[in-house]
Amino acid sequence: MAYQVEEPAAKLASSYTVAPLQRIGDSSEITRASLFLASEDASYINGAELAVDGGWTVGHYHTMMPGAPETVGITPEPNDI
């Protein structure tokens, strides 16, 4: 019996289809959040966590929930990442 091995990019892309933003985050998004927390604009923030995770802590989409994207469960092509 032969097992089919998924390409790493395809496997990674398919894991993000159930996340609220349905994409991999960019390093600049982490950088901007860090710079905000280090700036004077965040001077009143104390003891809080800022999750910069594209919605993973919120949870996964379920197709029966209102507002779930139609692409849930569809694996994007590796070039679409």
Q: What is the pLDDT of residue 72?
A: 47
Q: State which amino acid sits at residue 16.
A: Y
Q: What is the pLDDT of residue 23?
A: 79
Half-sphere exposure (Cβ direction) of 16: Cα atoms closer than 13 Å:
18
What is the mean pLDDT of each successive set of 10 residues along the chain, which is 81 residues long?
Answer: 64 71 86 95 92 81 63 51 48
Q: What is the pLDDT of residue 70?
A: 62
The DSSP secondary-structure symbol of 13 reads: H
Pick the CATH number of 8-80 from 3.90.1200, 1.10.1790, 1.25.40, 1.10.8: 1.10.8
- Which residue, among 22, 28, 76, has the nearest Cα to 54 in the 3D structure? 22
